[in-house]
Structure 1
Amino acid sequence: MKNIYILLLTFFVSSITIAQHIPGNKQAKSILILNAVAHLGNGKVIEKSAIGFRDGKITIVTQANSIDVTKNKFDITIDASGKHVYPGFIAPNSTLGLVEVDAVKASDDESEIGEMNPHIRSIIAYMADSKVVETMPISGVLLAQITPRDGTISGTSSIVQLDAWNWQDALIKENDGIHMDFPRIYRRTGSKFEPGYLNVNKEYLNQIDKISLFFANSKAYLADAPIKKNLIFDAMKGLFDGSQTLYIHANNEKQIVDAVHLSNNFGVKKVVIVGGYEAYKTIDLLQKNNISVLLKRVHDMPEYNDEDVNLPYKMAKLLTEKGILVGLENSGDKERMNTINLPFQAGTCAAYGLDKEQALQLITSNTAKILGIDSQCGTLEQGKDATLFISEGDALDMRTNKISQAFIQGRILNLDNHQTKLFAKYKAKFNQK
């Protein structure tokens, strides 16, 4: 027990030895970014652009030579010649801010006890001043969908911006959807270091029956005026009235087919497949039901030995060319720290079939549409939040993704974090003569 207290104390002390990241102040001065290559996030590009914003909202998106700077007076003008401007990248299905140190249980709030937890709200556990969260803007990731884990129905997610004092300040959209981990067809033996064989899940049909019963009981409860309030069943209301999305975590073809049929049987209005490894085999079903896909981490190996080694890289193209709305998610091993590589996953999709601007949409406008926040962010358009950044080069390429300035709702971000400070510290050490 003594060792645990020492570990916690060490963690606490180390967390305050480096100056805390301070969120930016509300935009007070209007800003105009001139002459950058503007990637609007909707497939369009303006080579020499003028992007202006006031009071946190974008007011001008046009060619630089078409704006009269004397008439359209801005307090601050940034000459971004030779640079690129992008809308803030969005990381869906993320546990950012829910776990700080995996080895310290007290800092882990990503899951709750129980199988059916639609009433669990991940947002109240979100730690806005997480050391991991503060590193995201340096790669352009400015928004995230904070999502619970484990259980059959894990709980509700919420969407946040990544520069805030607390979860209330961070909120973009609260309780946007409920996440369900659909039963798996196969179970793999062994470990991730020494994978074993795939075994059929003999409980698959029984597990689906339990989900069906839960949905049926929820609908029956909501159809009447219950004498006693049931928080769990009551939390399902949004799925049936269309105010929330059902995010179904499923990868196998049969999983996806069964999940879509189950949601249709109970009248779920909006469905998104998360993971979707074999979604390309269910194109007709997805098209018919207007279902979008948040693809699992594309920087991965194929699931099966007889598959194309480049299949994960090509999946976005396979779905996009058939008209499926596709975004990218990053769950998996070391997912929180790895979120910083989200733009490079989009870059890989561009290298394997997608146009560069289509690849950009995977982490901007497409994801914003899937999450239901496209009226507010996801593209550089008049009236939307001024959540954007300036990169020295191509933001989808790790060699040239160098963020010089970033803004969330017009607020100038301080891009310094504990990683940049440590880099500067040890760079100075090795530069000493």
Structure 2
Amino acid sequence: MRFRKITFILAFLSVAGILNAQQTPAPAQDEVISIIGATAHTGTGEVIENSLIIFENGKITKVAKASEAEAEGRVINAEGKDVYPGFIAPNATLGLVEIDAVRATDDEDEIGSMLPHVRSLIAYNAESKVVESMRPNGVLIGQVVPRGGRISGTSSIVQFDAWNWEDAVVKEDDGLHINWPASFKRGRWWLGEERGMKPNKEYQKQVMELNDFFASAKAYLSGKRNVKHLPYLAMEKVFTGDKKVYIHVNGEKEMLDAIQFKKDNELKEMVFVGAYQAMDLADKLKENNIAVLVERPHNLPNQDYQEYDSPYKLATELYNKGVLVAIQSAGRMERMNTRNLPFYAGTAVAFGLDKEEALQLITSNSAKILGIDDIAGSLEEGKDATLFISEGDALDMRTNILSHAFIQGREISLETHQTELWKRYMNKYKRQNAQNKEAEADEAEHAESK
């Protein structure tokens, strides 16, 4: 009896595990695929009506009008639909945290301050249910970024259909992330400090600590390296320019100081993340070749004097000023909200951008900023076949309904825990409605017979 009970429990747990597992990653593309008839939004500003897109072995081989070339292999008729490059989510913690309240599932932050050697990639959970839920909205690639400390660590870029982090990686150790100190800070009332904003007396000291760390790392790397120093070794690609520097910063003064920091340390490429007051420095950003990952627009203004819609139109204003800009979704519930990335771009349309320009904020511009524009971010020959077909406008939550999606040519499942629940309960209410109608018909028939 006891043996039967144990066997039953083990069988139940096994089935439960299967039911709750992520979708099995798709097999490699093994046939030529042609998508014909769709309106192709290339991500470069170009729109091709009645298009033909062909891809083979995970790479796009043809992007043209359907009248200009012949379809090959398996043909997907997408007439009346739209095809887009896969959306890219920069500055995300996807796969690093599954449940905030469960410490064992939280790998976004490490103890310490100067942590350039911390690599987010090896903590990335490719089987995350949160990651899986990005795909039905067309978000197929993301930059996985650590949090915390003055120097948080090193990010990597992954695609969202993989067995493990080794399979997921698109670009390994792409950038170093620095949380720039704030010149003003709020009083910590729980420590007895006065409430409200006040100057940060430690600001200059904190900036100096960053400069000292960079100087020490440069000195170590130019010396004999008799002792292995992991934080300094992780800085080598920063100084050669193979690793970008992402500065998480919002204030105008702080951004000016960060620009000077770039010059002092001879850094080749720098990206501002957040950059709430970037519009005040748009010309300087363009002059110093600094790209911006703006915060998601669905926010209230940070300052009382600002217009109510300032967060909504920041991306538009920077784009019109010629700054290379893309949208990221950090903030409260950032992992779950990352699936709304296309609708953040849609908001930019409501505040002045053309739809194809807004599309670039989550495709080609993101790819350029992350340094993967040679393989992703647009529908062009030679790039990865990471794309999807939508029933309509993918920047509109009413019509962003995916019928097919591909990552590096592999056709991926669009089922998630959420879609399974939706279907389950929709069927429940359909059955109930049918039963109610049947009961009403029986009652009517019974009443007539009387």
State the secondary structure of the residue aligned to 1:132.
helix
Deviation at 1:189, TM superposition (A): 4.7
Distance in structure 1 (CA, Å) of the matches to 2:91 and 2:117: 17
Q: 59, 76, 85: which one pairs with 1:57?
A: 59
- One-letter amino acid of the structure 1 residue matched with residue 205 of structure 2: N
Q: What do residues 181-206 of structure 1 show as CA deviations (whole Å, max 9, x unaligned)? A: 00012223579xxxx63222221111
Q: What do residues 340-391 of structure 1 show as CA deviations (whole Å, max 9, x unaligned)? A: 0000000001110111101000000000000000000100000000000000
Distance in structure 1 (CA, Å) of the matches to 2:207 and 2:96: 29
Q: Structure 2: which 5+ residue stretches go unaligned?
A: 1-12, 190-194, 433-450
Evaluate the alpha carbon distance shift between residue 119 and residue 129 of structure 1 in structure 2; reply closer, same or farther with a 3 A threshold: same
Matches within 5 A, 1:121-270: 121-189=119-187, 197-270=196-269
- One-letter amino acid of the structure 2 residue matched with residue 289 of structure 1: N
The residue aligned with 2:31 is 29
State the secondary structure of the residue aligned to 1:282.
helix
- One-letter amino acid of the structure 2 residue matched with residue 149 of structure 1: R
Distance in structure 2 (CA, Å) of the matches to 1:36 and 1:153: 45
The residue aligned with 1:5 is none
Distance in structure 2 (CA, Å) of the matches to 1:92 and 1:198: 30
Q: TM-score, normalised by structure 1?
A: 0.94
Deviation at 1:16, TM superposition (A): 4.8
State the secondary structure of the residue aligned to 1:101.
coil
Evaluate the alpha carbon distance shift between residue 294 and residue 15 of structure 1 in structure 2; reply closer, same or farther with a 3 A threshold: farther
Q: Structure 1: which 5+ residue stretches go unaligned?
A: 1-10
Distance in structure 1 (CA, Å) of the matches to 2:21 and 2:105: 20
- One-letter amino acid of the structure 2 residue matched with residue 110 of structure 1: E
Length, aligned pairs only = 416
Distance in structure 1 (CA, Å) of the matches to 2:172 and 2:180: 23
Is the Cα contact below 8 Å between 2:22 and 2:128 reproduced in 1? no
Is the Cα contact below 8 Å between 1:319 and 1:326 reproduced in 2? yes
Is the Cα contact below 8 Å between 1:239 and 1:270 reproduced in 2? no
Matches within 5 A, 1:341-352: 341-352=340-351
**What is the root-mean-square deviation in Å for CA atoms of aligned residues?**
1.7
State the secondary structure of the residue aligned to 2:110.
coil
The residue aligned with 1:411 is 410
Deviation at 1:20, TM superposition (A): 3.3
Deviation at 1:14, TM superposition (A): 6.6
The residue aligned with 1:6 is none
- One-letter amino acid of the structure 2 residue matched with residue 178 of structure 1: L
Quote the sequence identity (%): 53
The residue aligned with 2:8 is none
Is the Cα contact below 8 Å between 1:239 and 1:245 reproduced in 2? yes
- One-letter amino acid of the structure 1 residue matched with residue 113 of structure 2: E
Larger radius of gyration: 2
Q: What do residues 144-177 of structure 1 show as CA deviations (whole Å, max 9, x unaligned)? A: 0000000000000000000100000001000001
Q: TM-score, normalised by structure 2?
A: 0.90
Evaluate the alpha carbon distance shift between residue 159 and residue 259 of structure 1 in structure 2; reply closer, same or farther with a 3 A threshold: same
Deviation at 1:286, TM superposition (A): 0.9
Is the Cα contact below 8 Å between 1:34 and 1:51 reproduced in 2? yes
Distance in structure 2 (CA, Å) of the matches to 1:56 and 1:411: 7
Distance in structure 2 (CA, Å) of the matches to 1:15 and 1:136: 21
Find out whether 1:355 has 2:354 as its counterpart. Answer: yes
Is the Cα contact below 8 Å between 1:391 and 1:402 reproduced in 2? yes
Evaluate the alpha carbon distance shift between residue 30 and residue 135 of structure 1 in structure 2; reply closer, same or farther with a 3 A threshold: same
Is the Cα contact below 8 Å between 1:152 and 1:182 reproduced in 2? yes
Find out whether 1:109 has 2:111 as its counterpart. Answer: no
- One-letter amino acid of the structure 2 residue matched with residue 159 of structure 1: I
Evaluate the alpha carbon distance shift between residue 201 and residue 278 of structure 1 in structure 2; reply closer, same or farther with a 3 A threshold: same
